Structure 1
């Protein structure tokens, strides 16, 4: 997929500049230049039949089969009885991931007893890699050579002042749900928790050592903004004292984040009791997922259940608002979906169609600002849609990009709401550190309370015709206020 298209999908718009000689294009953004045993994850789903490369065949499609948790076994039987395979199952939320061939599968299973909904999770075939997932190669590391300096984005949210009070607690874990994380990066390895890291690419948990490594650079950049070490070298994250974990949900070779991958990741986050997750992407293949379509309705419900499961386990989810300069409160058309096949030009949509996970209940939605405290030109917005804002940078100006870690021990600039969201996840981690018993609802309230109001510029879209600030929500996060 062209870099510009993938950048818009994942939530970051462009790398502003390369800062080391070895930097190269990768992942969802043009960018400057992704290990240890983990525990098995069988809390939220029952084991299913193991698949091998020989089980894959051309023309397989992936489906959500939704049911009441009490009827999961009946739903699995309906899948098998109609020629499908149960690829994964999340019994506690009643979500079965099925693979099958043929146009009649979905309709046949929809008619089975106990089945609430069935929907295709992608408009393309299941890739062969789903049956033979490879562990991403570990990059060669180089030691940071530059002295640590406070970046403009950290000064803008007063993180440097917050560190005088606390850098965050090691008892707090932020899960990076993304392209993976380079856990051997000198700025990340001491804060990385391998016991809470895995891959959910292709829709089934892979907890082999190294499965969580970055397949691009996006996730490593996000991780550095959250918790890069305060060690006198390179960069510093918002909460350098907390732990980070990686749940890779991006597939190879497409780099897409499909619904079954996302459900797996949120279930894992809940089972591992993360305090916060960062979600700098939207769930492919639909930029806006609509409930009036049978397939998309099943996607909406399946992902919603997984997000709610994680929230019920005490996980606060933070997500990027998106990079289309789109008014989320007044949706009209979408020309970018589905992005795994041929997009539909000017597909009519309504406000019932949601950008997920960012528009799901309980998720903190983050808009991006530049170093002038103004909404970044690309950032989505919308009255009643944005919770808070944070620095996302300017893709046209190197000095106004967000500078963070990239694989191989290197550093680079990126810009986007993908870069804004981890600032908020970092502040949420600081709040969780000073309020260890706070629920996700309480942390959300604290995030809103500590934010510094940003007035609307002279732009009619900001007020939306009423008193609501549609650009910044409650304002820009303030780390010093959060810990003070």
Structure 2
């Protein structure tokens, strides 16, 4: 997970996965959209966070004090640059390439220099530490540092096959009849080091012209790149990850030497074997620490070094799950700014898994095949893989002049890197995109009997080097290179019933093509319809791009689509020579939203959770200004007894999740009335399995320049029986510091408010609270999950939840001594709700700098609620009319959905915020049951509108918004 803040940027980064997963995402290979996602499968390195400081706040002298109280909470011990800044300055001076960041131009070296590593000692997860550091003013983003490992599996030494069986498979001998490596191309081997004295390698090693001859070991940084005496590469791992040096030879691991030999072992020398591009030069960049199967602390710094110092192709036979913005910035710099092809291993977990850096945009991702030309039993596979090559039982060089077998995508990757090197030798003007495309386009496709369930997940096929070098000037190949999803609401949300457009950019990457066509197919779900599913671009010149016109590739989202549905599209771009497939993926009908108009930002979902569910992967939590999230988990409880208590509160340990007491009816959606400086959110849900027979409408209201958010829970009795002894409340687990301890929950009887303060006087935190504003009798329980209520973390049963919810103000305070992890339950009741009637429970969630300010905030919230309560409701009881708007942002075909208990005269009208009627869209008789009226909002100016339904049995209204 990547965290960004201040509030607005943080919300954008966290909400984007719930909106559209691939807006303006570039795509250069067969793939789902790539980039920063799915971090939960990665292994985060403890005690380290990588973050980027914005231009306004950045200085090279940034230390622990920059992070203020959050730094104190985390016990920051060290702040250091992620990348060598002298190397970045050297690159800037050499390239003069600049990166636009929207605030003028900044060199990419300066941009990368603002990424730093922060080390901390507090006993909390890297994910939570990153979330806290992201809230510091001036931090663009913060993220865990994901573990990267080399991607090979050692083989049984007794297994002996024909040694270089893979060379005829990839047609290397035929390719060598056309050309062999001549030393004009350099492959950077970022790995565990290359044995410089191996007789099959020593004559092919790259040397740094700025440090050659007498400069090799003079202790001076002669070329000014920030690294002393890096005359044949550099060791960015050293002995322990911090003591780097200028000797990139291996120390305890064979992997890098083996990879180097596959790519460029010397040929025609009567010893050993031959590399796929023998004659090529090899740059040794050691990124792992000394020892066997080492961690790789120098991974992306080594990749950047290779690109800056002149490697044309960079081989990365390593990686891991878990994606990173900072890592992708380096990859983008190397591929786009420096113009180098990066070739990466897809991983060896034998599963459908994204693996990084292989899954970043602009990278050539390589899977492994076996001697039967089928998927190797260890290779990963996914829609992002570009190409396959042999990777099972590969014989190559080993340290100390030896040879041996290894298996893995690590072994397949240097074969492809070598193939790219030969192509670049033929035509040095080829771009990284063109090099990759030639290799993809000339691959041998897999047999249908072999590919099976891995169709389109092993790339275009297995590399054919002969076809690549002979068809380099002939092959015609175009593909989808970028796309956007255009939705009518303008809010980035794709809702049920909407029509959305896939706007696609296709690039003819290689030779001129007479006719380029594109088709789109819905893979899942099957009830999504697609109009105009094909388009012809006509003739396209080499490197020409074209965009699909209006009316093409329009997706109709079903009105009954399930929440958080993942839509998968298969796009195919065809020339006379080949077809290229790209898979796209995005989310529709998202169920979380975050209100953030004032100093408070809170996430809500559509079934009763507040802040976070227990997995903390959805929602941002509860934010106050620049502080980190102050809540761990929150959820609603409504019940009449311990056996009738629907809730979405944790049931024990975090991995056990929460209760599933409610089901969505209408998703949480936000609308902003700028004229009145208020943001309103609304969702409707019902109790699962009709335990009580209730429907809950949550309306949130947030006002500008305030420190609170109002929560209105309208509980409607939809059953035929009276609901007696009903209680409604929220369970909130507050964490005012990253550790989540030393917080103290208390009760303010006069204000019906529970509040939490931090008890360590030397640590300054906000004070948070929640007050019951409506006139029900209050219920409150101050819990300590590290003490008397430890069962919250193990077995939080319905009986225990009911005990907290229904006993009045039964426990006002946490203990003042010992370890305290404060949480609370606050609610109202008991009440009785007759059939067809409803009861509204109103709360204010708030934060301030101290208890006095919090009390003032609570009084202000109470005054606001009291004012709102004096406004007569439009909706009468027992109106017999229910209706909703889908979507609430008016489009050409917004559905006004009405449910009537009886046949009656109905009039549907639209009003602006001034109360002026702007349109009547229906006036006539409607039958009982479900009805639909279409509201065409295309001619309405931007603004907030009220849709009012006037019937014989009552009047109801809903708010919608038009955004242009």
Please tell me the TM-score bracket, short chain as reference.
0.5 to 0.7
The root-mean-square deviation of aligned C-alpha atoms, in Å, is 2.7
Does structure 2 retain, via aligned residues, the 8 Å contact 1:65–1:75? no
Of the candidates 342, 354, 362, which is equivalent to residue 317 of structure 1?
342
Q: 1:282 aligns to what? A: 319
Q: 1:411 aligns to what? A: 403
Does structure 2 retain, via aligned residues, the 8 Å contact 1:178–1:248? yes
Does structure 1 retain, via aligned residues, the 8 Å contact 2:307–2:314? no
> How far does the alpha carbon of each residue in 1:132-169 deviate from its partner, in whole angstroms, 9 at most, with x for none?
xxxxxxxxxxxxxxxxx982111111112222222123
Of the candidates 279, 288, 292, which is equivalent to residue 250 of structure 1?
288
Q: 1:48 aligns to what? A: none
Displacement of 1:432 = 1.2
Q: 1:67 aligns to what? A: 53
> How far does the alpha carbon of each residue in 1:93-139 deviate from its partner, in whole angstroms, 9 at most, with x for none?
2311233433587566434332112234269xxxxxxxxxxxxxxxx
Does structure 2 retain, via aligned residues, the 8 Å contact 1:65–1:95? yes
Of the candidates 180, 204, 229, which is equivalent to residue 191 of structure 1?
204
Query: The residue matched to 1:206 in structure 2 has which SS?
Result: coil
Query: CA–CA distance in 2 between the matches of 1:60 and 1:356?
Result: 19
Seen in structure 2, the aligned counterparts of structure 1 residues 75 and 442 have a Cα distance that, compared at 3 Å, is farther
Displacement of 1:440 = 0.9
Query: CA–CA distance in 2 between the matches of 1:60 and 1:374?
Result: 38
Q: 1:327 aligns to what? A: 352
Q: 2:145 aligns to what? A: 121
Displacement of 1:306 = 1.1
Q: 2:136 aligns to what? A: 112
> How far does the alpha carbon of each residue in 1:378-403 deviate from its partner, in whole angstroms, 9 at most, with x for none?
21112x3221111112xxxxxxx211
Query: CA–CA distance in 2 between the matches of 1:250 and 1:300?
Result: 19
Query: CA–CA distance in 2 between the matches of 1:71 and 1:436?
Result: 42
Query: The residue matched to 1:167 in structure 2 has which SS?
Result: coil
Of the candidates 425, 429, 442, which is equivalent to residue 437 of structure 1?
429
Q: 1:240 aligns to what? A: 278
Of the candidates 424, 439, 464, which is equivalent to residue 478 of structure 1?
464
Does structure 2 retain, via aligned residues, the 8 Å contact 1:187–1:405? yes
Q: 1:307 aligns to what? A: 331
Displacement of 1:252 = 3.7
Displacement of 1:77 = 4.2
Does structure 1 retain, via aligned residues, the 8 Å contact 2:188–2:283? yes
Query: The residue matched to 2:184 in structure 1 has which SS?
Result: coil
Normalised by the length of structure 2, the TM-score is 0.34
> How far does the alpha carbon of each residue in 1:325-359 deviate from its partner, in whole angstroms, 9 at most, with x for none?
2123xxxxxxxxxxxxxxxxxxxxxxxxx421111
Seen in structure 2, the aligned counterparts of structure 1 residues 67 and 411 have a Cα distance that, compared at 3 Å, is same
Query: CA–CA distance in 2 between the matches of 1:170 and 1:68?
Result: 42
Q: 1:264 aligns to what? A: 301
Query: CA–CA distance in 2 between the matches of 1:89 and 1:69?
Result: 16
Displacement of 1:255 = 3.5
Structure having greater relative contact order (Cα 8 Å, sep ≥ 6): 1
Does structure 2 retain, via aligned residues, the 8 Å contact 1:203–1:264? no
Does structure 1 retain, via aligned residues, the 8 Å contact 2:341–2:432? yes
Q: 1:215 aligns to what? A: 252
Residue 180 of structure 1 pairs with residue 230 of structure 2:
no
Seen in structure 2, the aligned counterparts of structure 1 residues 366 and 244 have a Cα distance that, compared at 3 Å, is same
Count of matched residue positions in the alignment of Structure 1 and Structure 2: 347
> How far does the alpha carbon of each residue in 1:249-292 deviate from its partner, in whole angstroms, 9 at most, with x for none?
2224573444x522211221221131111111214xxxx21xxx
Residue 167 of structure 1 pairs with residue 155 of structure 2:
no
Within a 5 Å distance, the mapping from 1:89-168 to structure 2 comes to: 89-90=82-83, 91-93=110-112, 94-102=114-122, 109-121=133-145, 151-168=164-181
> How far does the alpha carbon of each residue in 1:222-255 deviate from its partner, in whole angstroms, 9 at most, with x for none?
0000000012211100001111112112224573
Query: The residue matched to 2:274 in structure 1 has which SS?
Result: coil
Does structure 2 retain, via aligned residues, the 8 Å contact 1:75–1:96? no
Displacement of 1:428 = 0.9
Query: CA–CA distance in 2 between the matches of 1:85 and 1:60?
Result: 14
Q: 2:360 aligns to what? A: 360
Structure with greater proportional strand content: 2
Listed as ranges, the gaps of 5+ residues in structure 1 are 1-58, 124-148, 290-298, 329-353, 394-400, 464-468
Normalised by the length of structure 1, the TM-score is 0.66
Does structure 2 retain, via aligned residues, the 8 Å contact 1:214–1:248? no
Query: CA–CA distance in 2 between the matches of 1:107 and 1:474?
Result: 39
Query: CA–CA distance in 1 between the matches of 2:442 and 2:80?
Result: 44
Query: CA–CA distance in 1 between the matches of 2:206 and 2:56?
Result: 34
Question: Larger Cα Rg: Structure 1 or Structure 2?
Answer: 2
Listed as ranges, the gaps of 5+ residues in structure 2 are 1-44, 84-109, 148-161, 209-231, 471-964
Q: 2:412 aligns to what? A: 420
Query: CA–CA distance in 1 between the matches of 2:277 and 2:163?
Result: 13
Q: 1:130 aligns to what? A: none
Query: CA–CA distance in 1 between the matches of 2:356 and 2:402?
Result: 31
